[in-house]
């Protein structure tokens, strides 16, 4: 699989949308049980070695002060552990809105990674573990970060590990394998429940695109792209039509002008917009309003935060995306 890194966190991720599934209140069915106040989980199994694609990582003791540089904070928070540092959102003040309740009242430093890794700030937090598997370009940063604390990245490759594999790896690094497995199982059960409740969605086609520049739309056409795979887990299938257009390099995406908007027609059209003004410009055009799916009310605008977590899925982001998309899909498809 080869995809453009999703617009989530990291110095180069702003590029795709800015230029270029799923939080149910208390994470019903997904969160791990909270540990009783005043108790400490046993530190059995430490020191331990965690194998990653960038080499083995030695973790001397059960981590107590964790810094995350990508979406790894979602797994940490789902395990009811507060990281001492986590990255700022690109599309909201502070962290993603679906994480705000989970860090409220807890000592969490929000790190601005837009211009690169803030090494001195991270060192000042005195972390004993750094999780950075979804930080774009981490390969060039591991050596320096490892001077601060052990760095766990990914099992197979950047944007290759599934969200299940990432959760398992993070759970292993934290000494919370069983609780991480419970988080994964709960979310898989929720997705299966959505599929079971909507049998009519099976086989219905969809397109997922980005309107990030006036006059041009980019549609994802790589079936292995995480965003398409996440929507497909609900029973839908990607429309083959956009793939007939010229694809940019190996990015698995097709560019089309507004005049070719009819190529996006499917049973449901999902589209993110870089700004309200760009969205309004496209939606005001007769060529877009005349697309059958749009005309029949099966067009779903997707906000930037939701499309970002689709492209880089992690447990709490998937919960958030389900909360946003399932009602819209029910409206569009029944």
Q: Which domain holds residue 240?
A: 199-333
**Shared-domain flag, residues 219 and 160:** no
Q: What is the mean pLDDT of residues 191-207?
A: 97
Considering the domain architecture, whether residues 190 and 210 belong to the same structural domain is answered as: no
Across residues 69-87, what is the average pLDDT? 97
Predicted local confidence at residue 92, as pLDDT = 83
Between CA 314 and CA 184 the distance in angstroms is: 10
Residues 209, 170 within the same domain: no
Residues 49 and 172 in one domain: yes
Instruction: Please measure the distance between the N-terminal and C-terminal CA atoms of the chain and give it in whole angstroms.
Output: 32
Angle between helices 177-197 and 315-333 (to 10 degrees): 0
Q: What is the pLDDT of residue 44?
A: 67
53: left (phi over 0), alpha (psi -120 to 50) or beta: alpha
In the predicted model, is pLDDT for residue 305 greater than 60?
Answer: yes
In a domain, 306, yes or no: yes
Whether residue 9 has pLDDT greater than 80: no
Percent of the chain scoring above 70 in pLDDT: 85
170 plus 237 within the same structural domain: no
Mean pLDDT value across residues 84-108: 93
- In a domain, residue 2? The reply is no
Q: What is the pTM of this model?
A: 0.85
Whether 256 is in a domain gets the answer: yes
Planar angle of CA 31, 36, 39, nearest 5 degrees: 125
Average pLDDT over every residue of 232-258: 81
Is residue 263 pLDDT above 70, yes or no? yes
Higher pLDDT, 151 or 35: 151
- Continuous H helices in 175-271: 177-197, 226-232
pLDDT digits (tens, 9 = 90+) for 116-153: 999 999 999 999 999 999 999 999 999 999 999 999 99
* Unique residue bearing structure tokens 């292993």: 172
Answer yes or no: is 1 within a domain. Answer: no
Does residue 151 share a domain with residue 55? yes
Based on the fold, state whether residues 235 and 175 are members of the same structural domain: no
* % of the chain beyond a pLDDT of 90: 76
Domain's final residue, options 177, 194, 211: 194
Distance, in Å, from the CA atom of 322 to the CA atom of 229, rounded to the nearest integer, reads 14
Task: Tell whether 75 is covered by a domain.
Answer: yes
* 234 lies in the same domain as 132: no
Cα-based distances in Å from 103 to 27, 225, 274 = 14, 30, 27
Query: Is 38's pLDDT higher than 80?
Result: no
Q: Is residue 7 part of a domain?
A: no
pLDDT for the residue numbered 249: 54
Same domain, 143 and 223: no
Average pLDDT score, the chain: 87
How far apart, in whole angstroms, are the C-alpha atoms of residue 59 and residue 173? 7
Structure tokens at 225: 């792209």
Residues 24 and 47 in one domain: yes
Structure-token pair, residue 292? 């059958």
d(C-alpha 303, C-alpha 40), whole Å: 39
Q: How many domains does the chain have?
A: 2
- DSSP E strands: which ranges in 214-303? 216-220, 237-238, 253-257, 268-273, 299-302
Q: Identify the domain boundary among 164, 194, 224.
A: 194
Alpha carbon distance 165, 50 (integer Å): 13
Q: 194, 219, 239 — which closes off a domain?
A: 194
Q: Which helix (H) or strand (E) holds 246?
A: none
pLDDT-derived band at 90 (thresholds 50, 70, 90) equals confident
If asked whether residues 185 and 207 sit together in one domain, one would say no
Indicate whether 24 pLDDT > 70.
Answer: no
Asked whether residue 6 is domain-assigned, the answer is no
pLDDT of residue 30: 38
Q: What is the mean pLDDT of residues 222-250?
A: 84
Res 8 pLDDT > 90: no
Q: What is the CATH number of the domain that holds 292?
A: 3.40.50.1980
Please tell me which residue, 32 or 83, carries the higher pLDDT value: 83
In contact, 246 and 183? CB cutoff 8 Å: no
Are 32 and 179 found together in one domain? yes
- Joined together, the tokens standing for residue 123 give 């060192």
In 3D, which of 163, 154, 136 has the Cα closest to residue 15? 136
- 51-76 pLDDT, tens per residue? 999 999 999 999 999 999 999 999 99
* 62 inside domain: yes
């Amino acid at each position: 699989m080869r995809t453009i890194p999703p617009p989530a966190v990291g110095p180069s991720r702003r590029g795709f949308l800015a230029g270029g599934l799923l939080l149910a209140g208390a994470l019903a069915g997904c969160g791990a049980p909270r540990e009783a106040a005043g108790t400490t989980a046993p530190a059995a199994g430490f020191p331990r070695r965690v194998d990653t694609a960038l080499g083995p990582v030695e973790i001397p003791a059960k981590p107590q002060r964790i810094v995350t540089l990508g979406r790894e904070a979602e797994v940490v928070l789902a395990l009811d552990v507060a990281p001492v540092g986590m990255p700022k959102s690109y599309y909201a003040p502070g962290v993603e809105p679906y994480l705000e309740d989970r860090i409220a009242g807890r000592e969490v430093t929000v790190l601005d990674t837009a211009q690169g890794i803030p090494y001195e700030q991270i060192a000042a937090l005195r972390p004993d573990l750094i999780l950075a598997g979804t930080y774009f370009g981490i390969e060039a940063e591991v050596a320096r970060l490892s001077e601060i604390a052990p760095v766990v990245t990914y099992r197979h490759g950047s944007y290759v590990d599934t969200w299940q594999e990432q959760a398992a790896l993070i759970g292993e690094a934290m000494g919370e394998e069983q609780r991480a497995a419970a988080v994964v199982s709960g979310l898989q059960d929720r997705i299966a429940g959505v599929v079971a409740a909507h049998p009519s969605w099976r086989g219905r086609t969809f397109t997922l695109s980005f309107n990030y520049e006036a006059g041009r739309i980019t549609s994802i056409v790589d079936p292995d792209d995480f965003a398409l795979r996440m929507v497909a887990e609900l029973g839908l299938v990607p429309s083959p039509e956009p793939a007939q257009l010229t694809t940019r390099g190996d990015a698995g995406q097709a560019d089309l002008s507004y005049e070719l908007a009819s190529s996006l027609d499917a049973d449901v059209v999902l589209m993110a917009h870089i700004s309200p003004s760009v969205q309004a410009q496209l939606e005001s055009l007769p060529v877009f309003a005349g697309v059958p799916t749009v005309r029949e009310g099966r067009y779903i605008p997707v906000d930037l935060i939701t499309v970002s977590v689709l492209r880089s899925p992690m447990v709490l982001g998937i919960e958030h995306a389900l909360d946003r998309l399932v009602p819209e899909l029910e409206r569009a498809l029944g």
